[in-house]
With several copies, the nearest count.
Chain A
Amino acid sequence: MIETVTRKRIEILTDTALVKRVTSAIDSAGITGWTITPVSSGKGRDGHWREERVMGTDKVFVLTIASEEKADALAEKIAPLLSSHGFLLSMWDVQVIRGERF
């Protein structure tokens, strides 16, 4: 059996324009990496939005895998921006192989 360890996976929904705010928070939390995936549309309290790349109303998911400790540091950093910047953050435990790299 392959040995796995438990890490936190954090997913942050953000405007494309604000991605750098998120990724620099990740970098400064000492996390080794992140991955960005596209998002097409959504609905929240502010109503419906659609990806309109011409107008820059597109959003993305930034996801990163990190130790619990670093994940908490990141959540702490991002929390103040959640409301003002319209971020959405969720996190959960995952098992990874070669856990030393995270």
Chain B
Amino acid sequence: METTALQTFTSPVVLFFVLGLLAAFARSDLAIPEAIAKGMSLYLMAAIGMKGGVAVSKSGIDGTVLTALGLGIAASFLMPFLAYALLKGFAKLDRLNAGAVAAHYGSVSVVTFVTAVEILEIQGKPPGGYMVAVMAAMETPAILTGLLLARGMGSGSSSQSTGEMLHEVFFNSSVVLLLGAFAIGIISGAQGFAEVSPFFQAGFKGVLCIFLLDMGLIAARRIMDARAVTWRMATIAIALPLINGVIGTSAAVALGLDVGSAAALGVLCASASYIAVPAAMRLALPEADPGIYLTMSLSITFPFNILINIGLISALATALSGQGAVTP
């Protein structure tokens, strides 16, 4: 654990995130142009999608893959209920905002996942390539649960905007790009990937550094501006990744996933969306306050996961796998 935590904090990826946080807290004017930040996020999704697809084109799809997919989808559907209960009960949020926030915690953060993969690989526990598909599958179910919670069953929402929203949910740009690149990875395989790997593979960690620098800047600036977030909400933004991480990792180990994949699934459960879900919420629940859901997921949960929780989940996965198996 010691080495783990230390390795985390000597990785340039994490250090650039810390630099972003510090620069924003010092009120430096350092800023990445929005077009560049958007371009980097598309690059990261295309690259991670392709790499996952190439991995699956080698390993094939077996029972473990289907188990992990099923577990991920179920988690995404169900996690918002717990989040909703805490948000209404403890943080006193109204139904609308509680449902919107819950959707974020059921869904996933691509960058948290990617950072976890980097860290797990350094620790010698690389997750399976199929985990990318699991991640893509976990993006949307939580949105449906969150809307259900926010609006109630017999909601009077116009069917037009529901259709628009469902379309947004299933064809939003991150889902399309992740799954599209995943399919391209499967079709073109290792040979096709070789042609483009200098771009998608060799450049990956460097781009991730600059992207995390930007995320650090944005997360810190947002929390300095935050008005709507109370200490109760902040507490939940720390508690949920801990709880969801433990549940996800334990279930994954219990169902037989390898250490790395179990940790990755735990991280997915622990992470909160701040790209796909906010976009869907703005359309489907425009009355909900982005100042609450973005600040919680991006400014509290995201740094907590990157800096602390990935390390904890990785250690937990190792411990649990060690108990269940003879070989460490």
Task: List residues of chain A with CB under 8 Å of any chain B CB.
Answer: 15, 17-18, 20, 46-48, 50-58, 81, 84-86
B221 surroundings in chain A (CB, below 8 A): 50
**Nearest A residue (CB) for B34:** A53
B286 near A55 with CB under 8 A, answer no
Within 8 A of A (CB), among B124-182: 164
Chain A residues with Cβ below 8 Å from B41 are 54
> Out of A15, A46, A51, A53, which one reaches B282, CB within 8 Å?
A15
Q: Are B282 and A52 in contact (CB under 8 A)?
A: no
The reply to whether A55 and B225 form a contact with Cβ atoms under 8 Å apart is: no
Chain B interface size band reads 20 to 34
A47, A48, A54, A85: the one contacting B275 at CB < 8 Å is: A54
Q: Which residues of A contact B37 (CB under 8 A)?
A: 52-54
Residue B283, interface by CB 8 Å: yes
* A and B contact pairs by CB, cutoff 8 A, 9 listed: A15-B286, A47-B225, A50-B221, A52-B218, A53-B33, A54-B41, A55-B298, A56-B278, A58-B34
B87 at the interface (CB under 8 A from A): no
Q: Does B287 contact A (CB under 8 A)?
A: yes
**Which residues of chain A are near B218, meaning CB under 8 Å?**
52, 54-55
Bound-complex Cα distance A47 to B228 (A) = 9
Given contacts A17-B283, A18-B283, contact A47 B227 (CB under 8 A): yes
Residues of B within 8 A of A55 (CB): 218, 274-275, 278, 294, 298
B38 contacts the other chain (CB 8 A): yes
Looking at the assembled complex, report how far the CB atom of B40 sits from the nearest CB atom of chain A, in whole angstroms: 8
CA distance A53 to B289 in the complex (A): 17
A3 to B34 CA separation, bound complex (whole angstroms): 38
Decide if B287 touches A56 in the complex (CB within 8 Å). no
Tell me which residues across on chain A come within 8 A of B290, comparing CB atoms: 57
Residues of chain A with a CB closer than 8 A to B287's CB: 84-85
Q: How far is the CA of A86 from the CA of B291 in the complex (A)?
A: 13
Per-residue CB proximity of B276-293 to A under 8 Å, as 1/0? 001100110011011100
A57 touches B294 (CB 8 A): yes
Q: A24 to chain B: closest CB distance in Å? A: 10
A81-B158 Cα distance, complex, nearest whole Å: 14
**Nearest-CB distance from A53 to chain B (Å)?**
4
- Give chain A residues whose Cβ lies under 8 Å from the Cβ of B294: 55, 57
Verify B291–A47 contact, CB threshold 8 A: yes
B325 within 8 A of A: no
For A85, the chain B residues whose CB sits under 8 A away are 286-287
The CA of A18 and the CA of B283, in the complex, are separated in Å by: 6
C-alpha spacing A81/B300, complex, angstroms: 31
Chain A's closest residue to B289 (CB) is A46
State in angstroms the CA–CA spacing of A46 and B291 once bound together: 8
In the assembled complex, which residues on chain B have CB atoms less than 8 Å from the CB atom of A48? 225
